[in-house]
Structure 1
């Protein structure tokens, strides 16, 4: 067994045996530096596999969509993989040729847009000839996406058809009305529609890409069998095509406004076999200092599967649903805290009242010491599973990078979680969760 492999195995095994504040863990070896172009690079070297995973992220998620062009970030991400224009003396590649080029390399490339981020990922073997060609092809895609009008017209028609099909589903209506009520005009709650997709054209995508794909704003995470010197070269090559994009400051995005009063939305949906129920309110941002106490509290309340209070009280004791869960969506802004379930239409009112009463009781009384101990054990014992592959390590380190968290965030996670006491947990929960100010959406329940 190599020294590096032993280090990783010992580190992962150590996560399973954290029981108290004195537990020590081997550090996850994250190297971090800033490139001359301003890009922030995070490297985790792992020589156990001849593979490299790369993620590049910039502030180009849907929160940056102009209101009249909702869906622009997602469209831009989609079209990044639909062809490359001529660049650096090399000819254009249409979408089919691009797919074949990646298949010939045995490599993977993808781009997605979430609420906050435009993300580009690359996975390739580190055999020198394959790595060189994969980085070169990825750099071409980043530098000269085609944004072909005919391809976009086809993809837009597919998006619109899928949107119209989704309108026949009660959960689609429930999610839309819930987002509108929780976010109240904030970009997190804006939905793309056929009208906004129809207003998007290749010129809008090029402008969006040029404005948001900037090296100065980029976080690059690399996990695999390379060292720092090689990582610096790869990062420079990948972002070389963005040099012409400049670095004009982006306008601030407002925070999600506090919920001043409850809102109860009941919508019929003839023919729906189940009532779709969403209950919640604005929650927290990822950098909130109470993020970890709230993660622990939510595991007890509704995020811990069959061990959670909601599951016991609504499924096991009363049989109203197959599953019920709660979660915090924590981004750069306060994403929603949400309780979600489905039940028979004539049981919707009872289920809603049970959710509200469970929130009231948990907020007043808090969890028991036994619940806290069990939740800590579950989360700590499961933490190593978040880091048992290159791609999972990439996800975790990229999250650290995006939220500007300390480099030891993952190393200290289990010890910090173990140290949370009941008072800290309950204070954090009461600060964020007000059971008297909730958004409730029921679609498909009886009037």
Structure 2
């Protein structure tokens, strides 16, 4: 075993745990922010307790930037960006296997993904000098020179097509597709990869999207680990050094998600032991000033597990479902508000009615004082678990960076929860939700 492999293997337990050294109950979380000459936005939390570093690089290149006829392009582009690098100068090309072996030799990793809003690259590496430089250089190659190999894409296209066909055999996937279309309509948040859009996507389209959107001036970079500001600044510059230095022009703005004009019901026949039920509407963007009131309120309604009102009414009192939940999905636009449950097909109509009644009462009357205190205790008591590892803390720092939140956002998170009142929740839910205009999707109901 070579020296690098020995170091990486010996420190493997550190990478697995990634514990953040700072006790959140004892001190503030020191988020630093600056802008590089390229325009890249950098956010850093030094964590010198263990020799490792987690980095997330975000670009406004999520599926909301997909052309409608090529829905799924962002996700497929992100996936192919991890499948090899092209030759550059004296450096040979690395196919997907060689690239994987190179990362394994370093005991590090670089993954890529796309959500509705972002295309993200996540680097994890040890910070020993003979490892960090090599990992940074390899990550810079992968970011700046993805192969987008056509032969590999043809194979991947077949695999993705098979996955789409398989998804059509699962009632939950069928329900999710129908629900997204009902809630978002023609907004890009509702775009979905299909066999038809897949057939229109080629490597030229991936290269075009990547070259237009994945630029240093569009990068938001979050770091948590054993580096100081000077090291982080140099590292970020090197990570982005192989991307085109093209000047950024403003990206076109996208319309807001339109509210639903009326209620809708879809009942999709499906031979399944359980009916899949989704009820909802557009919710709110992350920038909404009532974020904390909506967070606490949803914990009471259906996001707090067995202590939630939906669980009490649908599961505990009536035995209509093993689990039932509610959730908001805020993003740059209004993500969906969703109530979800599974139930016996012959009980679907009753379960839906109970869930809708619970929602309507909650929107009209808000929570009780007992429910509010229980939700605050739950959220505040679990706050430490949100930041108890480098990876979790990085997720929170990236959230601060992407949503332009105050640098001390995490320091005041428990106090923001404590400030929420019953009146705040009632007013926020009445402003955001219209129970009488929601979309309902049922897959597998007995009719």
Whether 1:147 aligns to 2:148 is yes
Superposed, which structure 2 residues align to 1:389-428 within 5 Å?
389-428=389-428
Distance (whole Å) between structure 1 residues aligned to residue 155 and residue 240 of structure 2? 29
**Is the 2:22–2:29 contact (alpha carbons within 8 Å) kept by the matching residues of 1?**
no
Superposed, which structure 2 residues align to 1:68-87 within 5 Å?
68-87=69-88
Whether 1:239 aligns to 2:247 is no
**Is the 2:211–2:244 contact (alpha carbons within 8 Å) kept by the matching residues of 1?**
no
**1:33-65 residue CA offsets vs partner (Å, 9 max, x unmatched):** 000000000000001110000000000000101
**Is the 1:52–1:222 contact (alpha carbons within 8 Å) kept by the matching residues of 2?**
yes
Superposed, which structure 2 residues align to 1:276-425 within 5 Å?
276-425=276-425
Report what 1:115 is aligned to: 116
Question: Which secondary structure state, in structure 1, belongs to the residue aligned with residue 242 of structure 2?
Answer: helix
**Is the 1:213–1:245 contact (alpha carbons within 8 Å) kept by the matching residues of 2?**
no
Deviation beyond 3 Å, 4+ runs, structure 1? 8-11, 243-246
Distance (whole Å) between structure 2 residues aligned to residue 139 and residue 82 of structure 1? 14
Whether 1:104 aligns to 2:105 is yes
When normalised by structure 2's length, the TM-score is 0.94
Distance (whole Å) between structure 1 residues aligned to residue 198 and residue 244 of structure 2? 29
Superposed, which structure 2 residues align to 1:198-277 within 5 Å?
198-269=199-270, 271-277=271-277
Report what 2:94 is aligned to: 93
Structure 2 regions of 5+ residues with no counterpart?
A: 1-19
Per-residue deviation, 1:245: 4.0
Structure 1 regions of 5+ residues with no counterpart?
A: 1-7, 15-25
**Is the 2:51–2:128 contact (alpha carbons within 8 Å) kept by the matching residues of 1?**
yes
Whether 1:13 aligns to 2:14 is no
**Is the 1:345–1:444 contact (alpha carbons within 8 Å) kept by the matching residues of 2?**
yes
**1:349-404 residue CA offsets vs partner (Å, 9 max, x unmatched):** 00110011001111112111010001000000001101000000000100110111
Report what 2:13 is aligned to: none
Per-residue deviation, 1:89: 2.8
**Is the 1:57–1:219 contact (alpha carbons within 8 Å) kept by the matching residues of 2?**
yes
Distance (whole Å) between structure 1 residues aligned to residue 426 and residue 302 of structure 2? 15
When normalised by structure 1's length, the TM-score is 0.94
Per-residue deviation, 1:346: 0.5
Distance (whole Å) between structure 1 residues aligned to residue 69 and residue 421 of structure 2? 47
Q: Cα distance 1:226–1:10, how it changes in 2: closer, same or farther (>3 A)? A: closer
Superposed, which structure 2 residues align to 1:39-188 within 5 Å?
39-188=40-189
Per-residue deviation, 1:258: 1.1
Per-residue deviation, 1:12: 2.3
Report what 1:37 is aligned to: 38
Question: Which secondary structure state, in structure 2, belongs to the residue aligned with residue 379 of structure 1?
Answer: helix
Distance (whole Å) between structure 1 residues aligned to residue 178 and residue 372 of structure 2? 34
When the two structures are aligned, how many residues end up with a matched partner? 428
Distance (whole Å) between structure 1 residues aligned to residue 88 and residue 150 of structure 2? 19
Distance (whole Å) between structure 2 residues aligned to residue 9 and residue 144 of structure 1? 35
Distance (whole Å) between structure 2 residues aligned to residue 145 and residue 9 of structure 1? 35
Distance (whole Å) between structure 2 residues aligned to residue 287 and residue 384 of structure 1? 24
Distance (whole Å) between structure 1 residues aligned to residue 289 and residue 88 of structure 2? 45
Per-residue deviation, 1:10: 6.6
Per-residue deviation, 1:88: 4.3
RMSD: 1.1
Report what 1:23 is aligned to: none
**Is the 2:267–2:442 contact (alpha carbons within 8 Å) kept by the matching residues of 1?**
yes
> More displaced, 101-110 or 234-243?
234-243
Distance (whole Å) between structure 2 residues aligned to residue 10 and residue 91 of structure 1? 42
